Amino acid sequence: MTESFQTPSATSIAAGVRDGSQSAADVIDAAIGAVEAREGELNAYNLVLADDARTAAAAIDQKIAAGETVGPLAGVPVAIKDNMCTTGVATTCSSKILEGWVPPYSATVVERLAAAGAVMVGKTNLDEFAMGSSTENSAFGPSKNPHDITKVPGGSSGGSAATVGAGAVPVSLGSDTGGSIRQPASLCGVVGVKPTYGMVSRYGLIAFASSLDQIGPFTTTVADAALVLEVIGGHDPRDSTSIPEPMPNLTEALGKGVDGLRIGIISELSGDPSLGSVEGIAPDVAARAAAAAAALEAAGASIEHVSIPSSVHGLPAYYLIAPAEASSNLARYDGVRYGLRSDGPNALAMNAASRTEGFGEEVKRRIMLGTYALTSGYYDAYYGQAQKVRTLMIDEFNAHYQNFDLLLSPTSPTTAFELDAKTADPMTMYVNDVCTIPSNLTGQPAMSVPFGVGDDGMPVGVQVLAPMMGEATMFRAAAVLEEAARV
């Protein structure tokens, strides 16, 4: 395993900056140095904003010197996935079709981080338009796993996971459509949270699949994840799907433990064939999930296996719904309004040439899948059926949450795999999302918590799932798992 830096937590950095024991300028200098020291091998960033970050840090130090109030993330270095709009800073979605595009506005989450005193140090690499599970689909080259650069960091938020996993920055943001925060968090050994759909504003997030996309944090600690989610979450009138409720106090929930909680291990995702588990979940990963369940039981939770048959249908349903929505969302990239424009003898030829040249193979594959599923004569057979499965999953998960406070599973079926190992077979790659997709289809929250390593010494994450707006309880369990993993 490659040696990584050990960055302080966001909570401790902000406390030190606020009390004057360290300057934001020094913190940002150290973070930029750590980023640049490993960027040549990790390719975690599409753009490093060293000068802008130093200017922002100096402004924070000036506020503190003047006795002004600074936010809960004062001076904390953060990295932003390059599918979130940033005023005056290129936002590419790791696609040639948007290369060099500079948005005139920032995403709500970017604004809220800045208002809290966080300092953006760069835009991170991703699978093009967030379509992938390995960050090998980027137009700007693959990112690498910080623990072993011959392996993938997961995807699609691989750059965001890799830079936190490397210890370069304590916080980054990713987006999660089918597991794109939780799966790379697992593979890179960091905390990754997919909140309740609508808890965090999607305003300024470049859409992949609008009914599934959700923004969330990567952090090195559960406490940091709670703090960052409190900062970026909450109602936003600019997002019509934003939940009009205040953010729950997640930080306050961390020390409450799990005594008395009822937690179900999803049999179909347990890795145990005798319980009807899907194939492909590695024994070493299943063993870590079982150990996590034992740790929660030792801390006072009641644990039992629970069968959720619809969970195994999430994969095929997702790969009809998500491409269908992508087909619609990506129709706007036509070579006319913004982005890449290729020459052609007429508008139709220009449009086709722009999209052919601008989109990568995986994006083209998903656009074609989605367009086919929405075609007259096939809509009811494919897209309509997938939506019925989605409704079945929502009903079934909600029914089980009447009896359980939380659910548990592995996050990813395996530890990080070798670069190029699965690129030739899309179906093999898609199976990486089998454990994470259900929470996107149901809209419910889930998070990955590091819980030891597999037989190859690479990180393993355990997934904690919760009902809608159940983040506070979810974080209680995550804090217990984090403490147990240290033992």
- The DSSP result for 41-83, as a single string, is HH--EEEE-HHHHHHHHHHHHHHHHTT----TTTT-EEEEETT
| 228 occurs within a structural domain | yes
8-state DSSP, 120: E
Tokens 């300028």 locate to 25
Per the annotation, the verdict on 180 as an active-site residue is yes
Which of the residues 81, 123, 144, 194 is marked catalytic?
81
Closest CA to 157 of 188, 128, 180: 180
| Cβ neighbours around 319 below 10 Å, total | 21
Query: What is the Cα–Cα distance from 448 to 183, expressed in whole angstroms?
Result: 8
| 270 occurs within a structural domain | no
- Contact yes or no for 355/342 (Cβ under 8 A): no
pTM as predicted: 0.96
Print the domain residue range for 16: 10-245
pLDDT of residue 1: 52
**Domain at 70, CATH number:** 3.90.1300.10
pLDDT of residue 210: 97
Which of the residues 133, 138, 160, 180 is marked catalytic?
180
Q: Is the peptide bond preceding residue 156 cis, with omega within 30 degrees of 0?
A: yes
Per the annotation, the verdict on 81 as an active-site residue is yes
| 417 occurs within a structural domain | no
Which of the residues 156, 310, 311, 409 is marked catalytic?
156
pLDDT of residue 427: 83
Burial category of 363 from C-beta neighbours within 10 Å (exposed 0-12, middle 13-18, buried 19 and up): buried
pLDDT of residue 81: 98
pLDDT of residue 196: 98
| 289 occurs within a structural domain | no
- Contact yes or no for 10/171 (Cβ under 8 A): yes
| Cβ neighbours around 136 below 10 Å, total | 22
| 187 occurs within a structural domain | yes
Per the annotation, the verdict on 240 as an active-site residue is no
| 453 occurs within a structural domain | no
Question: pLDDT means per 10 residues in the chain (487 residues)?
Answer: 73 96 97 97 98 98 95 98 98 96 97 98 98 97 98 98 98 98 98 98 97 98 98 97 95 97 97 92 97 98 97 94 96 89 92 92 95 90 95 97 98 97 89 96 98 98 98 98 93
| 469 occurs within a structural domain | no
Give the number of domains in the chain.
1
Closest CA to 82 of 70, 64, 100: 100
- Contact yes or no for 81/173 (Cβ under 8 A): yes
Query: What is the Cα–Cα distance from 96 to 114, expressed in whole angstroms?
Result: 28
| 20 occurs within a structural domain | yes
